[in-house]
Structures are given as C-alpha cells and as structure tokens.
Structure 1
C-alpha cells in the first residue's frame, strides 16, 4: 500500500489530461482518471482512501515529473471544471513569529503604544489555538482570496491588477479539500503555496486586509497525501535577472504554528456555506516569512521560488502586472 505519496495533474503534449502518482523517486500515470477531484469523489463514494483509489486504478506508464515540470506540462494539482465551485481562503497570524511583521506594519500606521489588534489576535491564538480534539479553539483571522479563476499553477505568472500597490509573496502550506455528497469535508492533502498579497495596501490600514488578499495565488504541482508532517522547513527566494535578490528560510507545520490544522479547519467548515457537495477548497494556512518585512520592493519580472521537503519540486512563479490603467468600472442602471 502507498504510504507518503504525491498526486499531480498533467496536460500532455496532445492536450489530454492525466493524474500522476509519485512515491519517492518513482512516478506513474494513474489509469483511467483525468483529474484529482474525480479520483477523490470516486474514493469517497467507495468509502476508501486515496491510496486505495490509486491502487485500484492500476499503474500506467512511468513518468519523470522533473522533466514534465521543465516542459511546463504540470498543472495545479486540484481544480474544478466550474471555477465558481472552487474556494480560495486563508487564515493569518497562525505561525510562531507571524505577528512580528504584521504588528510592526500596523503599529507604524497607527503610531500607538497599545497592543495592535493583530498582536492581540496572535496572542489569543497562542493561548487557545490548540484545543483538545473535538472542541473549538480560539477563532483565527480568516480571509477570502477568490474562486478557481484566481488559482495559478506552477510556472504561471502571478499577476497584479492595474490598481495594485504591491505584489508580494507569502510562502506557506495550503490544505486541499473536497466536500462529499453528505456535506463532509475531506482533506486530500497539502500543497506548497504562494499566497500572493498586496502588503502596501494592507500597511496603509489593516482594515484593508480584505482588499489586499483579493489577488491570485499559486500552489505547487505536488499534492502531498496522508498525515501532514509536523514540521516543514523550506526556503523562499526572489530572483531578479537570474540572480538572488532575497532569500530566507521559512517554517510551517503544526510544530511551528500557534493553531492546529484541525482548529483552523473547524472554524472554516463550521459555515454551511463551505460544505456544499462537490465543491473544492484551497485553504492557505499562513506564514511568518515575508520579503516585504525586510524592505524588499518587488517588480514585474521578478521570480518567486518556494521549496521545501518533502515536496520534490519547487514552486516558481514570475511576477507580472495586468496591462491597462486602473479606471472605475462603469455600472449601468436597468
């Protein structure tokens, strides 16, 4: 039986889609299924796990996933044929040390001597974010990023809208979920992620956090299936003209967080809105590492690169800005 393994989605040279399973250095086509969501729904219907669903399908041709990545044939490892049924959301101030940069940002903006709301929320999470199983812990910060139209795969540009003040990386993990026919959320696994945000807009006033998060986001090619690793250690870097502009390690996983994944999931899926059968959820778990906190100003053409074991492929995305000027959308009265 498969133990720790990864699932990937491929679009071949002929345009046909396939699911790839990878275990260690070996990878193969999963026979008879074109996307991970379909495989997950099949497993749910059969009352089995993803490992059993992959084994039942059988092994197809061997695949070199590194070569497929270089050829640009790997997609985001989850999607939905109707992007409106894929939710992108996240939680912030969830990691040990994650309050430092946010608190500095908001304290400078407010010029206040008292604790900022961000620091208060972080401390409350530190105290109550890891409750006993089966109970609610402290409610985290929560935000909406968009639907499936905003999801970017490996290698694709992360594009700022014309009105954006900044385009900054956030290296983290994202949980991937499919909602079963009875409304039960099923976690398929974790992905490397870049929860791309506009930190200049947020810094102006933290009540603009919601605006700053309405941006694209990227997830890596590999969906890590199975029990989440307790700790993840990786590196986040920005390349400019092929040279490293900024580089820093980042930590994730529950050992480095002030909340359990279960608590973050409980506070997301407690809303019936998020338990619609067949929907897909990509939920970003937060980070404590930002180039913006170190004074980096990104520019179009920069490349964000995030890498961390046990993922074998890095997530790399160039920064772009939409063409055109920021002009108000004219609304017509009927």
Structure 2
C-alpha cells in the first residue's frame, strides 16, 4: 500500500492511495487532508494506518501523472510547524557508502594512510549492527540534516548554495515517524529520498561532514505503508540536458545493510529530545551508491532521478544554483 499527498486546484490538500494496477491513479481518501492527520488518528484509535486507509478509500480517483506534471505532489508527510519536523540520517550502512567515504580519505591522505575511521565504523556495523530482536547493537554514525523547511517536494528544485563546493545525489530509503502524545515513536512508513550532500566539502576534512549535510533534500513521491522488503532494488541516475550522464543500480533494505532498521531507530530515539510528543522525524538510512564515488562532477541544471519498483513513481529533482548571500552579519540587540 502506497499513499501520496497532493494539493488540489483550489489550494486545498488531499491524500490518495496509489492504484494497485498500473499505479497511474490515486483513490481519494475520505476525510483525510494530510498524512499527519491520518497518523494521529491511527495512534488515537490504536489502529494501523493500513486499516484506516481501507476504511477511508473512496471510489473516486484522480490522475496521478497529471498531479506530477502540474507540480502538485507534496512530500509524503509534513508538519504545519516545520521546526517540529526533524530531518536526520546515518551513513556507512551500505558497502557503497563505505567505499566512497574511504576514497575521500585516500584522496586526502594518500594510499598508504591507515584505515580510515569510515571503514572502521562500517566494520563495527558488520560485527554488531544486527543484534537480533530485543537487543541493542553497536552505535551507528548519525548526522543532523535540518528541519522541515529543508525538504523540497518531488519535482521541485534542489538549491545549491553559492558557498557550496558541490552538490550531488544520495539515493536512500527514508523512515518517517511521528511521536505520539505519550512521546512514544511510531513509524508511519518508508519513502525514497535524495539526501543531497556536498561531498567535496566533506572530503576536505572529515570534521566538515556536519557542514556538508546542511542542505536541502527531497522525499517521495510515495509513502510505503507496512513492512520494508528485505531487498530493495533501484536505479539512481543523473540527466544533463535530457541525456543520462551517470547511472547505477543500488541495493538496499536490511539484506544489504550493516545495521538493522530497529538498531538505527533505537540509537536515534533513545534521546529524550527526539521523543517530544507531536514531533515528526525523517531518518535517512544511508546510500548504497553515489555519483561522486564514480568521479562525476555535477552542474547546475542536472536532474536527479531515483527509482525503485517498491516505491512506485521515481523521485525527480533538478539542482539549481542560487545567488550568493554574501556575509551574514549578526545585529547586536
């Protein structure tokens, strides 16, 4: 079951269920303006989102492709107060990401350098990242991406700041969560995501990782309800002037990860500040492949396309340079 949030012609909001046949139609959900409202209702009723969707699915449909062409599809979940939507993630959970990080280390320190911290933490995940049900494993890497204002909808531009050294895709699976009134975290579902980072800045010094992550990102267009398959196969592409300049298959899901999702979730939500009642969380689970590791230099106007059959329609965004803001000065009060 997959859901889509979108805006109506008159500026309202609706949620639709993707048709099971060709995925080109959305069945409208009665009395449902947002996925957040749907999740809140599920928590309040002690029911699953899937059960509520079954009850609310109407006979009326809308053309999904038209919504995408018109730019009316929204991120799979959002919050009316964007500051209460925390966007975070973890890296080094897939072999590809570990290789790319190690390549940065080699470029900076040479072939004879000691094993990088990136490879060390990846090996730690292999050894202790899947402890089994009810057990706590090894701690993963973690980073802060931003708040709800950094999430751009599917089809929208990904801004590349003038101060950025580069901008490139990271095709990932994203877990989406809502904290209930008692502070307990509930998983709403999963979506495709483009974590979009500045790998050149990161490569200059590993301690610049935090800076390289403070960028926009995109999630969607579809929200997968229920369990994530053990294996997710997809493709990540970059198009320039309509021509594919880079493409690579990616493998994700727990079968291709060094950490279980439950372990990643524990180390995120163990912090009380991440369990504030009513807050939303988007948590990127890590990339398996990235164009930077293949030596690709992206440019303004490049279009990123991330697709996996598990998640329906592809996630597409174009990178666009934004004007230099210059010095940001602070005013004394």
Identify the TM-score tier after normalising by the shorter chain.
over 0.9
- Unmatched segments (≥5 aa) in structure 2: none
Structure 1 residue 214 displacement after superposition: 0.3
Distance 1:156 1:97 in 2: 27
Distance 2:321 2:144 in 1: 21
Distance 1:161 1:70 in 2: 26
TM-score, length of structure 1 as denominator length: 0.96
Distance 2:80 2:318 in 1: 25
Distance 1:228 1:6 in 2: 12
Mapping for residues 1-334 of structure 1, pairs under 5 Å: 5-25=1-21, 27-111=26-110, 112-325=112-325, 327-334=326-333
Distance 2:240 2:19 in 1: 33
SS at match of 2:323: coil
Structure 1 residue 99 displacement after superposition: 1.1
SS at match of 1:74: coil
Counting matched residue pairs gives 329
- Unmatched segments (≥5 aa) in structure 1: none
Q: Decide whether aligned partners of structure 1 residues 58 and 303 sit closer, same or farther in structure 2, where only a CA change above 3 A counts.
A: closer
Distance 1:263 1:276 in 2: 20
Distance 1:241 1:180 in 2: 45
Contact 1:30 1:60 in 2 (8 A): no
Structure 1 residue 108 displacement after superposition: 2.0
Contact 1:231 1:253 in 2 (8 A): yes
Contact 1:31 1:60 in 2 (8 A): no
Distance 1:273 1:55 in 2: 34
SS at match of 1:137: coil
TM-score, length of structure 2 as denominator length: 0.96
Structure 1 residue 13 displacement after superposition: 1.2
Q: Deviations over 1:248-272 (max 9, x none)?
A: 1111100110110000000000001
